[in-house]
Structure 1
């Protein structure tokens, strides 16, 4: 399978899951460590719009700021560093992630907005959790005034302002709740 190369100045949805759907984040410390590795390996190579770390998978929405091969290698280094630490801590061996991380190039602003909401609503969609209090997504980072490397201003600009950002997320959340009630 030929994977699409990452291209500088383009936006991508990057995601992967544990091999065979296995858990890749067993503890909060695992997720915190993964976020530190993101900062270590990608902070100068990519700009993040959104992220979400679930127990068995993750999503990133980012803009590639460096040569695509450099960012691909940085992502590989991130995943390898995390897998080695996770395996050592849990006494497991072998691959942690599915073979290659998936990537979808985003060229449409409407889809970009929908994807941000989709990523933030992952806790609701997968575990019927309150996405507004989920600690390992960028939803609250976007709404916060705290310093961040996330491109908060551009994300909010995509939605018009903070209030519309919250409104769109809540509207999609309400649709999900309605779907769960019907099932």
Structure 2
């Protein structure tokens, strides 16, 4: 995996999916294990503003920390994915690549696109038909922003400041559910 071309203070949509679009999360324990690794490997380099884990892919909205070691960040992302892959291979007796070879990091050059990405990431389970309501998908930061859980992975204060988010949970839930221009996919990928 080549080094990510990240710059301090900038916002990025980071994502990857299963090789051949195959499943990468098989059980709740797999989701939790990935989140533990995400916290361990990336939070010293990146502020996680939003996240969503889907059965065959993941999305992160991040802001690069001012003092991030950018070469170490790429290495740590590689370690996160490879250590998770080894664990899944052992647990399920599989071989070969679990993730696509290149993790993408798309810079979000404007706050408008960053806000749309924030909403898009949280809407992903609903758009994929996995749930009827966003609150039903526990593998995203939506329950934290909607006031349904007190998760600590996301830096909600940084997200509120950077994205000019509402502070009230009900307003936040409405914003996430109703903000997404139809032509946004070209900007986010």
Query: With structure 1 as the length reference, what TM-score do the two structures score?
Result: 0.87
1:151 aligns with 2:167: no
Matching of residues 18-37 of structure 1 within 5 Å:
18-37=18-37
User: Measured at CA, do residues 147 and 99 of structure 1 come closer, stay the same or move farther in structure 2, by a change above 3 Å?
Assistant: closer
Q: Is the 8 A contact 2:45 2:70 kept in 1?
A: no
Q: Which runs of 5+ in 1 are unaligned?
A: 177-183
Q: Is the 8 A contact 2:119 2:177 kept in 1?
A: no
Q: Which has the higher helix share?
A: 1
What are the Cα deviations for residues 123-148 of structure 1, in whole angstroms up to 9, with x where unaligned? 01112412122110001122337361
Give the CA deviation at 1:90.
0.6
Matching of residues 5-20 of structure 1 within 5 Å:
5-20=5-20
User: Measured at CA, do residues 105 and 54 of structure 1 come closer, stay the same or move farther in structure 2, by a change above 3 Å?
Assistant: same
Give the CA deviation at 1:159.
2.1
Residues paired across the two proteins, number: 175
User: Measured at CA, do residues 48 and 139 of structure 1 come closer, stay the same or move farther in structure 2, by a change above 3 Å?
Assistant: same
1:113 aligns with 2:81: no
Q: What is the aligned counterpart of 2:174 among 157, 167, 171?
A: 167
Q: Is the 8 A contact 1:142 1:156 kept in 2?
A: no
What SS does structure 2 have at the residue aligned with 1:159?
coil
2:127 aligned partner: 125
Give the CA deviation at 1:122.
0.4
CA RMSD of aligned residues (A): 2.3
User: Measured at CA, do residues 111 and 69 of structure 1 come closer, stay the same or move farther in structure 2, by a change above 3 Å?
Assistant: same
Give the CA deviation at 1:155.
2.5
Q: What is the aligned counterpart of 1:79 among 68, 78, 81?
A: 81
2:52 aligned partner: 52
2:137 aligned partner: 134
What SS does structure 2 have at the residue aligned with 1:30?
helix
What SS does structure 2 have at the residue aligned with 1:7?
coil
Q: Is the 8 A contact 2:123 2:176 kept in 1?
A: yes
